[in-house]
Amino acid sequence: MAAITQDNRGLRLAMRYVVLTLIAIIFLFPLLFMVMSSLKPDLQLLRDTSSVRAFLPVGDISVDNYFAAFERAPVGLFVFNSVLVTGATVLLSLLFCSLAAFSFVFLNWTGRGVLLSIVLATLIVPFETIAIPLLLLVSQLPWLGFDGFEIGWLNTYRVQIIPWIADGLTIFLFVQFFKDLPRDLIEASRVEGASWWQIY
Protein backbone atom coordinates (compact mmCIF):
# COMPACT_ATOMS: atom_id res chain seq x y z
CA MET A 1 0.00 0.00 0.00
CA ALA A 2 2.82 2.38 0.88
CA ALA A 3 4.57 1.60 -2.44
CA ILE A 4 1.40 2.47 -4.41
CA THR A 5 1.01 5.73 -2.51
CA GLN A 6 4.67 6.56 -3.17
CA ASP A 7 4.21 5.81 -6.90
CA ASN A 8 1.13 8.05 -7.02
CA ARG A 9 3.04 10.90 -5.39
CA GLY A 10 5.90 10.47 -7.84
CA LEU A 11 3.50 10.44 -10.81
CA ARG A 12 1.68 13.56 -9.53
CA LEU A 13 4.99 15.33 -9.00
CA ALA A 14 6.16 14.42 -12.51
CA MET A 15 2.87 15.63 -14.02
CA ARG A 16 3.13 18.87 -12.06
CA TYR A 17 6.64 19.48 -13.44
CA VAL A 18 5.48 18.71 -16.99
CA VAL A 19 2.62 21.23 -16.68
CA LEU A 20 4.89 23.87 -15.12
CA THR A 21 7.48 23.35 -17.87
CA LEU A 22 4.82 23.80 -20.57
CA ILE A 23 3.58 26.99 -18.89
CA ALA A 24 7.17 28.30 -18.69
CA ILE A 25 7.68 27.59 -22.40
CA ILE A 26 4.48 29.47 -23.24
CA PHE A 27 5.68 32.46 -21.23
CA LEU A 28 9.06 32.37 -23.00
CA PHE A 29 7.53 32.73 -26.50
CA PRO A 30 7.05 36.54 -26.31
CA LEU A 31 10.64 36.99 -25.11
CA LEU A 32 11.95 34.77 -27.89
CA PHE A 33 9.85 36.70 -30.42
CA MET A 34 11.20 40.00 -29.10
CA VAL A 35 14.84 38.90 -29.36
CA MET A 36 14.43 37.39 -32.83
CA SER A 37 12.53 40.45 -34.06
CA SER A 38 15.29 42.76 -32.89
CA LEU A 39 17.80 40.89 -35.05
CA LYS A 40 15.82 41.00 -38.32
CA PRO A 41 15.32 43.83 -40.86
CA ASP A 42 11.83 45.35 -41.11
CA LEU A 43 10.66 43.63 -44.29
CA GLN A 44 11.77 40.19 -43.16
CA LEU A 45 10.16 40.77 -39.78
CA LEU A 46 6.82 41.58 -41.42
CA ARG A 47 7.07 38.49 -43.64
CA ASP A 48 8.00 36.18 -40.77
CA THR A 49 5.33 37.42 -38.35
CA SER A 50 2.61 35.23 -39.85
CA SER A 51 4.57 31.99 -39.40
CA VAL A 52 6.74 30.07 -36.98
CA ARG A 53 9.78 31.73 -38.58
CA ALA A 54 9.12 34.71 -36.29
CA PHE A 55 10.50 32.65 -33.39
CA LEU A 56 13.47 31.17 -35.27
CA PRO A 57 16.87 32.70 -36.09
CA VAL A 58 16.43 32.35 -39.86
CA GLY A 59 17.04 34.81 -42.69
CA ASP A 60 19.14 37.94 -42.52
CA ILE A 61 20.15 37.97 -38.83
CA SER A 62 22.37 40.84 -37.66
CA VAL A 63 22.82 43.36 -34.85
CA ASP A 64 22.45 46.34 -37.22
CA ASN A 65 19.19 47.38 -35.52
CA TYR A 66 21.05 47.89 -32.24
CA PHE A 67 23.71 50.06 -33.88
CA ALA A 68 20.99 52.06 -35.66
CA ALA A 69 19.18 52.62 -32.35
CA PHE A 70 22.36 54.03 -30.79
CA GLU A 71 22.85 56.30 -33.82
CA ARG A 72 19.27 57.62 -33.85
CA ALA A 73 18.90 58.36 -30.15
CA PRO A 74 21.20 58.96 -27.16
CA VAL A 75 20.58 55.52 -25.68
CA GLY A 76 23.62 55.82 -23.42
CA LEU A 77 22.13 58.96 -21.84
CA PHE A 78 18.81 57.17 -21.39
CA VAL A 79 20.50 54.29 -19.58
CA PHE A 80 22.54 56.70 -17.44
CA ASN A 81 19.39 58.64 -16.49
CA SER A 82 17.55 55.45 -15.60
CA VAL A 83 20.37 54.18 -13.41
CA LEU A 84 20.90 57.55 -11.71
CA VAL A 85 17.23 58.26 -10.99
CA THR A 86 16.46 54.71 -9.88
CA GLY A 87 19.55 54.45 -7.69
CA ALA A 88 19.07 57.83 -6.04
CA THR A 89 15.36 57.25 -5.48
CA VAL A 90 15.86 53.81 -3.96
CA LEU A 91 18.71 54.91 -1.68
CA LEU A 92 16.91 58.03 -0.45
CA SER A 93 13.65 56.13 -0.05
CA LEU A 94 15.36 53.46 2.04
CA LEU A 95 16.91 56.13 4.24
CA PHE A 96 13.86 58.34 4.82
CA CYS A 97 11.23 55.60 4.99
CA SER A 98 13.30 53.51 7.40
CA LEU A 99 13.89 56.58 9.60
CA ALA A 100 10.17 57.33 9.66
CA ALA A 101 9.27 53.73 10.44
CA PHE A 102 11.90 53.54 13.17
CA SER A 103 10.43 56.60 14.84
CA PHE A 104 6.89 55.20 14.55
CA VAL A 105 7.88 51.94 16.23
CA PHE A 106 10.51 52.81 18.82
CA LEU A 107 10.15 56.47 19.76
CA ASN A 108 7.33 57.73 21.98
CA TRP A 109 5.90 60.99 20.70
CA THR A 110 2.45 62.51 20.68
CA GLY A 111 0.31 61.69 17.67
CA ARG A 112 2.43 58.95 16.18
CA GLY A 113 -0.54 56.57 15.87
CA VAL A 114 -2.65 59.20 14.10
CA LEU A 115 0.18 60.14 11.77
CA LEU A 116 0.89 56.48 10.96
CA SER A 117 -2.80 56.03 10.16
CA ILE A 118 -2.64 59.01 7.80
CA VAL A 119 0.47 57.60 6.12
CA LEU A 120 -1.25 54.24 5.67
CA ALA A 121 -4.38 55.95 4.35
CA THR A 122 -2.31 57.32 1.46
CA LEU A 123 -2.10 53.75 0.14
CA ILE A 124 -5.70 53.93 -1.06
CA VAL A 125 -5.22 57.16 -3.01
CA PRO A 126 -4.63 56.31 -6.69
CA PHE A 127 -1.76 58.13 -8.38
CA GLU A 128 -4.07 59.46 -11.10
CA THR A 129 -5.78 61.71 -8.55
CA ILE A 130 -2.55 63.48 -7.61
CA ALA A 131 -0.72 63.46 -10.96
CA ILE A 132 -1.94 66.85 -12.24
CA PRO A 133 -1.71 68.67 -8.87
CA LEU A 134 1.79 67.25 -8.47
CA LEU A 135 2.75 68.50 -11.94
CA LEU A 136 1.40 71.97 -11.15
CA LEU A 137 3.23 71.97 -7.82
CA VAL A 138 6.64 71.00 -9.17
CA SER A 139 6.35 73.49 -12.02
CA GLN A 140 6.18 76.33 -9.43
CA LEU A 141 8.57 75.11 -6.73
CA PRO A 142 11.69 77.21 -6.13
CA TRP A 143 15.18 75.73 -6.08
CA LEU A 144 18.48 77.15 -4.95
CA GLY A 145 21.26 75.34 -6.73
CA PHE A 146 24.76 75.87 -8.07
CA ASP A 147 23.38 78.00 -10.90
CA GLY A 148 21.51 80.28 -8.50
CA PHE A 149 17.84 80.64 -7.64
CA GLU A 150 15.30 79.26 -10.12
CA ILE A 151 11.58 78.55 -10.27
CA GLY A 152 10.24 75.23 -11.49
CA TRP A 153 11.60 71.71 -11.33
CA LEU A 154 10.53 70.53 -14.77
CA ASN A 155 13.19 68.76 -16.87
CA THR A 156 15.44 68.19 -13.86
CA TYR A 157 16.63 65.15 -11.97
CA ARG A 158 15.14 66.38 -8.70
CA VAL A 159 11.57 66.23 -10.03
CA GLN A 160 12.05 62.54 -10.73
CA ILE A 161 13.64 61.77 -7.37
CA ILE A 162 12.39 63.99 -4.53
CA PRO A 163 8.60 63.40 -4.82
CA TRP A 164 9.15 59.63 -4.63
CA ILE A 165 11.56 59.27 -1.73
CA ALA A 166 8.80 58.70 0.83
CA ASP A 167 5.70 56.60 0.28
CA GLY A 168 3.22 54.87 2.53
CA LEU A 169 3.89 51.31 1.36
CA THR A 170 7.62 51.44 2.05
CA ILE A 171 7.06 53.02 5.46
CA PHE A 172 4.47 50.34 6.27
CA LEU A 173 6.87 47.54 5.26
CA PHE A 174 9.62 49.01 7.44
CA VAL A 175 7.18 49.41 10.35
CA GLN A 176 6.28 45.73 10.08
CA PHE A 177 9.99 44.80 9.96
CA PHE A 178 10.87 46.92 13.00
CA LYS A 179 7.92 45.50 14.98
CA ASP A 180 9.40 42.02 14.54
CA LEU A 181 12.70 43.02 16.13
CA PRO A 182 12.98 41.86 19.76
CA ARG A 183 12.33 44.70 22.22
CA ASP A 184 14.91 43.18 24.57
CA LEU A 185 17.62 43.91 22.03
CA ILE A 186 16.62 47.58 21.83
CA GLU A 187 16.37 47.90 25.62
CA ALA A 188 19.77 46.23 26.07
CA SER A 189 21.27 48.71 23.62
CA ARG A 190 19.76 51.62 25.55
CA VAL A 191 21.10 50.25 28.86
CA GLU A 192 24.57 49.96 27.27
CA GLY A 193 24.37 53.66 26.45
CA ALA A 194 23.64 53.50 22.72
CA SER A 195 21.90 56.51 21.23
CA TRP A 196 18.84 56.15 19.00
CA TRP A 197 21.06 56.83 15.96
CA GLN A 198 23.36 53.98 16.95
CA ILE A 199 20.41 51.66 17.49
CA TYR A 200 18.99 52.65 14.13
Q: Tell me, what's the pLDDT at 6?
A: 67
3-state secondary structure of 41: coil
Q: Is the dihedral of CA 42, 46, 52, 54 positive or negative?
A: positive
Q: Is the dihedral of CA 117, 85, 145, 131 positive or negative?
A: negative
DSSP letter (8 states) at residue 157? S
Q: Is the pTM of this model over 0.75?
A: no
pLDDT tens-digit profile of 125-180?
888 898 888 888 888 888 877 777 888 888 888 888 988 898 899 999 999 999 99
From residue 88, alpha-carbon distances to 1, 10, 76, 186 in Å are: 61, 49, 18, 30
**Would you place residue 190 in the very low, low, confident or very high pLDDT band (cuts 50, 70, 90)?**
confident
pLDDT tens-digit profile of 67-89?
888 889 998 899 999 999 999 99
Q: Tell me, what's the pLDDT at 48?
A: 86
End-to-end CA distance of the chain: 58
